[in-house]
Chain A
Amino acid sequence: MKTLRALLRNPQGAAGLALCSLVMLTAILGPAIAPNDPEAFHFGARFAAPSAEFPFGTDWYGRDLFSRILVGARSTVLLALLATVIGTALGAIIGVVSGYLGGMVDEAIMRVTDAVMAIPSLLFALMILAALGSSALNAVLAIGIAFTPGMARISRSVTLQVRSLDYVSAAKARGESLRWIVLAEILPNTIAPVIVEGTIRVAFAIMTLATLSFLGLGAQPPAPEWGLMIAEARDHLFRSPWPVVAPGAAIAIVAIGFNLLGDGLRDVLNPRTGDHA
């Protein structure tokens, strides 16, 4: 509650929270509030400019772009959230265990994360997709795995700060098990920085997911996934800009929303550690 109030006082945080709430509402209600059938062809109105009937215009089949974007919000936004959750959870566990155990285990894990981070994340996601095959869910998995090392480093560095605190020593002195100390004592205290980083990562995940679909390696036609919509619109690029502009703007708005929210959260939760990531 205190965090929420502080967040609302922060201009970036308030704007981000408003945008993200709007986006989440759209993702949940999308199909219910879409004015037209996203798959219905209106051959009389191909390449229409925005109008009262078609707020964002229509594509080459005369499909209503507004409805397609509303329906596509679910797959794009929720899948990006899922990818971030996978990467964050995996990374947090690896990072906390590595930081807590220290020594050779820590050294080995960190060298491997270094090597994975030496591969640009889009390239790494592409390699995983090459191995798994193209599909929307595989793209989610690929992004989640590509995010894991970065999250592992952040939660490790927080763990190193927390490890030497008194309450952890107290748990050790009580004779608690390793699993208890990691899960109940350390993990909850790494949550704040991990959530900040995770929120900013959602914006990356949206952009990467759309990029993978654009490259033909994520969602497959005729899904109204935003990146895929732009890829398909390339064949009709010079007839009308709306099939590219509408999903492009949708991606940008979601990414801006999560970037703002992440920056706002960072200011509110831990003003100092911001630039370490």
Chain B
Amino acid sequence: MSASFLLRRLAYLALTAFLVSLIVFGVTQLLPANAATMILGEYATPEALAALNQKLGLDQPALVQYGQWLSGAVQGDFGISLRTSQPVGPSIMSAFGRSALLAALSLALVCVIAIPLGVWAGTKRGGPTDLGLSVVSYLGVSLPEFVLATLLLAWLAGPAVGLFPASGYTPFSEDPLKALHHLALPVITLAIILTAHISRMVRSEMVDTLESDFVRAARLRGLSKRQVIYNHALRNSMLPAITVIALDVGYLIGGVIVVEEVFAFPGIGRQLILAIQNRDLPMLQAGALIMALTYALANLAADLAYAALDKRIQYK
């Protein structure tokens, strides 16, 4: 991986970030109600509205507003929430931290479960394990997160089982066990859905690799099946798996929004839904921008990992 590849990829990320910020700002500019009307209510006098518009900078042309918003956003200042009248930056960042913990735990669990599962099914192709896994994963990719989350909530948090709390959040610093207890159901939901996606991909990669010439050559050299799978096939199946996991970060972000809503988890997804329901423009812009940038960064990380692991591909 050369320095110029890295530079080009970073420039590309910057361009994406810029375009995303334009889209986020542009879409939210289309909001039918003006922020000042929302703060002061429908019956405010025109003078009061004009004064507040001026104070909020809403009387400026859209391009000037975008410039001000962007320069603030770069410095972490996303304005004042219209719903809570608190600065958006700190509250969205702490919500992001909680969501990141949720997402990281889910991803870690998925990697531990989905990759071995996919490899196992791929090596036992056509067997009962393989068939069972493909049926279950088909179900998994066809079940929206909110259905699974609600069913798990009804079953595992219901009075009959009562294994987990139905909603809420405890900080790790306060009580680590209770924190994990609260995180369990959202993490399990996300892990099940993502495992369905990723184990399917790992399986099909494994099947392809096991049929390739170099694996046959390794078998012909007299290496044991185990050695072939672990030293040859697995390593080559990991590359596409990394890309799939990075692409699934997009799913994960969508899943996080839904799951946080179901389990009343105070993360960035719930903030976003609250912002939409309350037409809280600054919060909406900040939340959408941060989520989109997270996804772009995940894709960059996947590209870099790919380039670092696959020596055949010469990135210039």
Contact = CB atoms under 8 A, between A and B. Distances in A.
A211 interface: yes
Interface stretch (B37-45, B226-234, B276-284): B276-284
Contacts of A244: 147, 150-151, 154
B306 interface: no
Interface string B151-163: 1011100110000
Nearest to B155: A241
B28 A127 contact: yes
Given A127-B27, A259-B138, A120 B291 contact: yes
Interface stretch (B174-182, B183-191, B254-262): B254-262
Interface in A191-233: 203, 207-208, 210-211, 214-217, 227, 230, 233
A238 B154 contact: yes
Contact of A248 (B138, B147, B254): B147
Contacts of A233: 150
Contact of B24 (A127, A211, A215, A230): A127
A252 B253 contact: no
B291 to A, nearest CB: 5
B305 interface: no
A256 interface: yes
A261 to B, nearest CB: 12
Contacts of A8: none
B266 interface: no
What interface size band does chain B fall in? 35 or more
A128 interface: yes
Contacts of B143: 248, 251-252, 255
Given A118-B299, A237-B153, A256-B138, A215 B159 contact: no
A126 B261 CA distance: 14
A121 B21 CA distance: 16
Given A123-B253, A123-B291, A211 B142 contact: no
Interface in B197-256: 250-251, 253-254
A207 B250 CA distance: 15
Contacts of A238: 154, 158-159
A114 B140 CA distance: 28
Contacts of A251: 143-144, 147
Interface stretch (A39-47, A129-137, A157-165, A169-177): A129-137
B273 interface: yes
B147 A119 contact: no
Please classify how large the interface on chain A is, using the bins under 10, 10 to 19, 20 to 34, 35 or more.
35 or more
B276 A119 contact: no
A260 B138 CA distance: 9
A130 B279 contact: yes
A243 B276 CA distance: 27
Contact of A259 (B28, B141, B262, B296): B141
Contacts of A230: 146-147, 150
Contacts of A18: none
A232 B154 CA distance: 14
Given A111-B15, A119-B20, A127-B284, A214 B250 contact: no
Nearest to A250: B147
A79 B146 CA distance: 19
Interface of A: 111-112, 114-116, 118-123, 126-133, 203, 207-208, 210-211, 214-217, 227, 230, 233-234, 237-238, 241, 244-245, 248, 251-252, 255-256, 259-260
26 contacts: A111-B19, A115-B16, A118-B295, A119-B24, A119-B292, A120-B250, A120-B254, A120-B291, A120-B295, A121-B254, A123-B288, A126-B276, A127-B284, A130-B276, A131-B27, A211-B258, A214-B146, A215-B261, A234-B150, A237-B150, A241-B155, A244-B147, A244-B151, A248-B143, A248-B151, A252-B143
Interface of B: 15-16, 19-20, 22-24, 27-28, 30-32, 138-139, 141-147, 150-151, 153-155, 158-159, 250-251, 253-254, 257-258, 261-262, 272-273, 275-277, 279, 284, 288, 291-292, 295-296, 299
